[in-house]
Structure 1
Amino acid sequence: MAILPVSPGISSERSSSSSNDDALDEEKVQKENFRWHRSGRASKTGEWVTIFVLIVVLIMSAMVFVTSDWLHRRSIHVPDNNNTLCRKNLRRNWVELSVDEKHQYIDAVSCLRRKPSRFNSTNMSLYDDFPRIHARVGSYAHQSAPFFAWHRYLIHLYEKTLREECEYEGNLVYWDWTQDWEKPSASSVVTGVANGQFAGLQVHSFGPVDESHCLSRGFWDRVDFDVLGKFLDPERVSKILMLDDYEAFLLALESSAHNAIPQGVGGDFAFHAAPYDPVFFLHHTQVDRLWWTWQQRHPNKKYEYNGANLRGSSIPATLDDVLVTGGFADDVKVREVMSTDGPMMCYGY
């Protein structure tokens, strides 16, 4: 049998074919390995994405909680009230009250108009007593050391009277005007008084000549009121709170944010009988809140009290100076109202 010689071309072709098949197989393996590697990497990437998303969700949740807490602590940072005894007596922002709580407060304030004056004045009510005290005595406390202390005592007496005479069970409330600084005239706190429980309220000037008239809110110019809003800017107020001298802090706050509100609201609020306007007490509770905040931030200066003892006086103020109310209540020494942790006063913000 003749053995046919193998053609070199055929052998080369088969070798080439075999080599190509091996190359294809290797390529398939590489592709498969790449696919599995990519799949594994995708799986790991998916895991990292999931972990990343969870982290973001946790961070966002924490931010929501912190933001909610910040809003609850109002628009400027207010230290926590650490006094467990007085913590229950927290004075709150007006906008945080429920509708029922607002009605309860307004009803109690209106109740004062039906109670007789402690000064036994004819045709005067317990409601009239507070503007009378402010007009006859309180004017001397402005632009001087007792500004904060005297008004703290006044609003304390107001709160005490609401509870004792009108069965009010809540605490004083404040208007945080730093939240309305961009357009204070649009705040829900300063609406008109032509309607509602304070419509027709008779106001007395308690000046040399008693000029009685109905309560008014002038709003001399809403544009001007909004211009005054710059003094209520939270950043501006926060800078004032950073002042570490009592007198400097007092004069800075009184001459700016404090004065901006009565000037902007106008009407009776702009004069010494300002407490006729119910907003007066929301405003001064806010002022007291800022002093309280300053005391909390400067604990070593909680009892710092310097400046003139009265407006226009050159006599240095002391903690033994007396805060008077013209016979409405007991006179007290300044040192008795410097702390809100008791025994005389027990509340926080």
Structure 2
Amino acid sequence: MHLAKALSSLALLHLTFGAAKPCRNPPVRKEWRELNHQEKSEYLEAVHCLTTKDSISGLEGAVNRFDDFQAVHSSQTPSIHWVGHFALWHRYFVATYEKALREECGYTGAQPYWNWSKDASTDSESAAIFETEIFDSCHGFGGNGAYVEITDPAENPFNLTGRTGGGCVQDGPFTSDKFMLNHPERGCLKRDFIPWIMNTFAQQSLVDHVQSQPDYTSFARALENIPAFTEPNIHGSGHFGAGGVLGTLGNQYESPGDPLFYLHHGNIDRVLWEWQRKDLKTRLHQVGGPIEPMDYSGANVTLDFTVNIGALAGDATLEQLLNAQGDVLCYTYNTA
């Protein structure tokens, strides 16, 4: 009798916690400029809210929930870039951040994205892209950092030119009196705008090139291209256009320390989402690309390849992460 009762309890636990939950009423992700002032304020308040919640990651330097995401990304950076699971790892990462905003901070909206291609200029030196709504000091993420001269060439290994900042962000909701980072050590949010990178790497023609790829393997490769600045790639646009050399967003390990990271990668995910929709039946079940960074002649990822994002969420297979409205993820996009 006791055994039967115990088995019944286990079955109930499985139904409650183990069974997949259907995706109903998925949050609709919108481009930042599509949100009204109230919606923007609510999102920014939710980001600040994460900094008031205790860390759960167990990673050194993580003090709060916002830090958790930066620390997890930092700890896995060597294995999640220039690999076949790059886009899907980051899809899971951003969706988990979105979930934290909603479930832990009462945010009722969806994760917005930043469509930088709408503002990229054919004049590579134009700074107009940095004067758009995303960088607004009242209803955006604030602008550039104060200019910091680089005297040690080791700080600029790619010898990038055209830097305009490098110091602490000077306006908006993430100045040092309102927002501080703790990983890997306590410090302010920094930005280092480089107009020619932002404009060149964010061109719609590059987005079109990525979305024209015939299969997932070629899509994944086109998305990141090569780890150099001699050939533009859309992934590098927001990172190095806004983060530059000294900015947080330009630091491969620590880039999620800039709240703009999630809107930048939201747009990268939108590109993937739109590419999938061109042949959804096939592209919900297709992956490829190297397991080891840049190892295009080595082993490829498969549908059952598992990724993890530490204590942020449970493990997931790439096949699960291909579906934005499946048993792990639940969201969609408004691309109007």
Q: TM-score, normalised by structure 2?
A: 0.71
Equivalent residue for 2:190? 216
For residues 133-148 of structure 1, the aligned pairs below 5 Å read 133-148=72-87
Q: In 1, are the aligned partners of 2:191 and 2:242 still within 8 Å (CA)?
A: yes
After TM superposition, give the deviation of residue 92 of structure 1 in Å: 0.5
Equivalent residue for 2:166? none
Q: In 1, are the aligned partners of 2:85 and 2:291 still within 8 Å (CA)?
A: yes
Equivalent residue for 1:331? 315
Matched, 1:154 2:93: yes
Judging changes above 3 Å, is the alpha-carbon distance between structure 1 residues 235 and 287 closer, same or farther for their aligned structure 2 residues? Answer: same
Equivalent residue for 1:185? 130
In structure 2, give the amino acid aligned to 1:251. R
Matched, 1:244 2:228: no
CA distance in structure 2 between the aligned counterparts of 1:89 and 1:329, rounded to whole angstroms:
19
Matched, 1:168 2:144: no
Equivalent residue for 2:153? none
Judging changes above 3 Å, is the alpha-carbon distance between structure 1 residues 346 and 248 closer, same or farther for their aligned structure 2 residues? Answer: same
- Where does structure 1 lack aligned partners over 5 or more consecutive residues? 1-84
Equivalent residue for 2:292? 310
Q: Show CA shifts across 1:164-201 (max 9, x none).
A: 11011111100011101114333331332323432113
Q: In 2, are the aligned partners of 1:340 and 1:348 still within 8 Å (CA)?
A: yes
- Higher share of residues assigned helix: 1
- Where does structure 2 lack aligned partners over 5 or more consecutive residues? 1-22, 122-127, 136-141, 144-168, 226-232
CA distance in structure 2 between the aligned counterparts of 1:244 and 1:122, rounded to whole angstroms:
42
After TM superposition, give the deviation of residue 253 of structure 1 in Å: 2.0
CA distance in structure 1 between the aligned counterparts of 2:265 and 2:61, rounded to whole angstroms:
28
Say which SS state the counterpart of residue 189 (structure 1) adopts. Answer: helix
After TM superposition, give the deviation of residue 88 of structure 1 in Å: 5.1
Judging changes above 3 Å, is the alpha-carbon distance between structure 1 residues 334 and 244 closer, same or farther for their aligned structure 2 residues? Answer: same
Counterpart pick for 1:292 among 263, 273, 284: 273
Equivalent residue for 2:199? 229
Q: How many residues align?
A: 258
Matched, 1:195 2:165: no
CA distance in structure 2 between the aligned counterparts of 1:141 and 1:91, rounded to whole angstroms:
24
In structure 2, give the amino acid aligned to 1:280. F
Say which SS state the counterpart of residue 174 (structure 1) adopts. Answer: coil
Judging changes above 3 Å, is the alpha-carbon distance between structure 1 residues 248 and 298 closer, same or farther for their aligned structure 2 residues? Answer: same
Equivalent residue for 2:238? 261
Matched, 1:109 2:63: no
Q: TM-score, normalised by structure 1?
A: 0.69
| Identity, % of aligned positions | 32
Say which SS state the counterpart of residue 92 (structure 2) adopts. Answer: helix
Say which SS state the counterpart of residue 66 (structure 2) adopts. Answer: helix
Equivalent residue for 2:19? none
Equivalent residue for 2:57? 119
Judging changes above 3 Å, is the alpha-carbon distance between structure 1 residues 344 and 197 closer, same or farther for their aligned structure 2 residues? Answer: same
Q: In 2, are the aligned partners of 1:87 and 1:348 still within 8 Å (CA)?
A: no
After TM superposition, give the deviation of residue 312 of structure 1 in Å: 5.0
Q: In 1, are the aligned partners of 2:62 and 2:68 still within 8 Å (CA)?
A: no
Q: In 2, are the aligned partners of 1:145 and 1:306 still within 8 Å (CA)?
A: yes
Give RMSD over aligned pairs: 2.1
Q: In 2, are the aligned partners of 1:268 and 1:276 still within 8 Å (CA)?
A: yes
Counterpart pick for 1:346 among 324, 330, 336: 330
CA distance in structure 2 between the aligned counterparts of 1:290 and 1:333, rounded to whole angstroms:
20
After TM superposition, give the deviation of residue 260 of structure 1 in Å: 1.9
CA distance in structure 2 between the aligned counterparts of 1:86 and 1:176, rounded to whole angstroms:
26
Q: In 1, are the aligned partners of 2:112 and 2:263 still within 8 Å (CA)?
A: yes
Equivalent residue for 2:8? none
Higher mean Cα deviation, 128-137 or 313-322? 313-322
Equivalent residue for 2:283? 301
Higher mean Cα deviation, 307-316 or 99-108? 307-316
In structure 2, give the amino acid aligned to 1:315. A
CA distance in structure 2 between the aligned counterparts of 1:253 and 1:315, rounded to whole angstroms:
19
Equivalent residue for 2:257? 276
User: Structure 1: which 4+ aligned runs deviate by more than 3 Å?
Assistant: 85-88, 120-123
Equivalent residue for 1:320? 304
CA distance in structure 1 between the aligned counterparts of 2:26 and 2:283, rounded to whole angstroms:
25
For residues 17-166 of structure 1, the aligned pairs below 5 Å read 89-120=27-58, 124-166=63-105
Q: In 2, are the aligned partners of 1:89 and 1:347 still within 8 Å (CA)?
A: yes
Q: Show CA shifts across 1:122-171 (max 9, x none).
A: 77111101110111014411111011110010011101111111011111
